[in-house]
Chain A
Amino acid sequence: MTEIPEHLLKRSQDAKAKADGDSAPPPQSVAQSDDDGETIPRSLLEQSQQEGAAAPAGGGVATIAPPAMAGPSGNTHRLLTVVKSGSIQDVKASPGDKVHVWPHLLAPEFTAALFITAFTLVFSLFINAPLLELANHNATPNPSKAPWYFLGLQELLTMFDPMIAGVTAPGIVLVLLGFAPYIDRNPSNAPEDRKFAISIQTIHLMFWAVLVIIGSFFRGQGFNFTYPWDTGLHGIFHL
């Protein structure tokens, strides 16, 4: 519930006191005295029950008390209840809920940039980029591997015809990936509404991840299956 600033409250009380005349105290003072913010103040409840007994025709509907039934201090209106704004108004983050890019976005961006620079620098201090012997067309290394991000494709080549593994499969994947927004007609972006899309993408990503891992660590001489603990990981940074 929004806090009403103190000075506004005071001003409104002053204005009410002035309108009611000095004899009548402001009605809020009655309501606030036992208002715990949750329930109808006890004094008002009792008052309304008494009045309800006197006029049963009123039912549950809030009725305006006639001036004849003025309150104990002579005021001619009643405060029925205080309703928290959230219960009747749908309070949402409005489009106006914005923050300044400086510093709220630039500072994290700068931190991230510093972090990645530091990481790359430290990593580069300790691990050197590979430089093997001069390129030689007559000495084929065994195994010959593509860069790691193409190892999934190379892995597929061991299982399928090149037409399928080298062309059809990656082609279909790239086309599907590129046209994903036009294929997925589901307008929701809530995860619970997108179980199929999320599942299929996770399977797809895991498919390549597993193939790349197998290609990187589980392929030895002749691109035959091997375990990394048999052949060792000495070439792990030959990337």
Chain B
Amino acid sequence: MVMPTECDSEEQTKLMAKNIEKRKQSLPEKLQQGATAATDWMQDSQFWTSVFRPGSIFRKGYTDSPRNRSYVIMNSVLYHLHPVKVKRHAVKVSYTLCLGGLSFFLFILLTITGIFLMFFYRPTAAAAWSDIESLHTQVSFGLLVRNMHRWGAHLMVISVFLHMARVFYHGAYKAPREFNWVVGVMLLKLTLLLSFTGYLLPWDQLSLWAVTVGTNMMGFTPVFGDQVRFVLLGGKQIGAETLLRWYVLHVLMLPFTLVIFLAIHFWRVRKDGGISGPL
């Protein structure tokens, strides 16, 4: 707010001097000033301050302070899975090798690429294979996204397996983390099942016979083996019904179950006092 003053002429002289100064500035300087002013205007707006909560690095005047470091975690729906602070040894990459985090990240990557693939795929025996083929040849980035989904899935099986080995070798399944290990073994099985159900979907010779070999083993289970196999295959042998069932398992039921177990897994990590160690 400008207070009215008696010396108007002085004010005007100042203003003129300012204008002359402005004209002297080079273009990059002007642009930079303009950008700063625009950023300030944007960050001061009601919209911006309502979107980014205090402590967000996008808020005006964010500084690296302990208070803001805490706010970054507390005020973000994405990051608040984390505590504000963790034990110093827990951030050592050499301890965890990031394997649990990578498994989770690969799951996200697989979800994103999987949703893309769903737009171009019909789970019927007549259409499945040709849908994949036209995905390769007619859809922009279709082959690339399918490749990422495929290799990402194998990577996830490997990283979940290695995560299990890492946790075992650190003795991290011991009290008070016993139950979280059990949840983790469930997650390992779910990961394998997700990969296995996805294996059938391209409906080519590789899928058909790999799944045939895999499900034949299931039939040897005593007492209810044949019944389980019948329910999973939707018949005596792999066919159109199997494709639909495994599709639903793969894109909906197993991911849904996995997310529930993941939530319990992450929640228990924090409730059990953070990750284990140091050795």
Contacts and interface: CB of A to CB of B under 8 A. Distances in A.
A and B: interacting chains: yes
Interface of A: 93, 95, 97-106, 108-109, 112-113, 116-117, 120-121, 123-125, 127-137, 139-141, 144-150, 153-154, 157, 162-163, 166-167, 174, 177-182, 184, 186-191, 194, 197-198, 201, 205, 238-239
B192 interface: yes
B206 A146 contact: no
B12 interface: no
B182 A238 contact: no
Contacts of A99: 85-88, 91
A98 B88 contact: yes
B175 to A, nearest CB: 7
B118 interface: no
Nearest to A101: B82
Interface string B177-220: 11101100110010010011001001111111110111001101
B144 A117 contact: no
Contact of B85 (A101, A145, A163): A101
B157 A149 contact: yes
A174 B189 contact: yes
A121 B154 CA distance: 14
B210 A123 contact: no
B28 interface: no
Interface of B: 66, 69-70, 72-73, 79, 82-91, 93, 98, 101-102, 105-106, 109, 125, 129, 132-133, 136, 143-144, 146-152, 154-155, 157, 165, 168-175, 177-179, 181-182, 185-186, 189, 192, 195-196, 199, 202-210, 212-214, 217-218, 220-222, 225, 237-238, 276-279
A131 to B, nearest CB: 6
A131 B98 contact: no
Contact of B148 (A95, A104, A121): A121
Nearest 9 A-B pairs (CB), nearest first? A189-B171, A124-B147, A181-B178, A129-B150, A135-B208, A98-B85, A166-B217, A162-B220, A102-B72
A98 B143 CA distance: 45
Nearest to B76: A102
Given A100-B70, A128-B143, A134-B203, A147 B136 contact: no
Contact of A117 (B109, B154, B206): B109
Contact of B171 (A120, A145, A194, A205): A194
A95 B207 CA distance: 52
B199 A153 contact: no
Interface of B is mostly: helix
Given A146-B213, A162-B220, A129 B174 contact: no
Nearest to B103: A116
B168 A201 contact: yes
Contacts of B93: 108, 112
Task: From B109, B152, B185, B210, name the one whose CB has the most chain A CB atoms within 10 angstroms.
Answer: B210
B152 A108 contact: no
Given A100-B66, A131-B204, A134-B129, A150 B86 contact: no
A202 to B, nearest CB: 9
Given A120-B152, A177-B185, A198-B169, 10 more contacts: A101-B84, A105-B91, A113-B101, A120-B109, A129-B146, A131-B204, A135-B208, A180-B168, A186-B174, A191-B279
B66 A189 contact: no
A101 B86 contact: yes
B264 to A, nearest CB: 15
Given A129-B147, A147-B199, A93 B204 contact: no
B84 A100 contact: yes
A191 B169 CA distance: 8
B208 A137 contact: yes
A205 B214 contact: no
B148 A131 contact: no
Contact of A144 (B82, B88, B129, B210): B210
Given A127-B147, A145-B210, A101 B173 contact: no
A148 B214 CA distance: 11
A201 B136 CA distance: 42
Contacts of B152: 120
A99 B276 CA distance: 16
A150 B214 contact: yes
B102 A116 contact: yes
Given A98-B86, A101-B84, A167-B222, A181 B177 contact: yes
A177 B167 CA distance: 12
Nearest to A123: B151
Given A99-B86, A131-B133, A147 B196 contact: yes
Contacts of A145: 209-210, 213
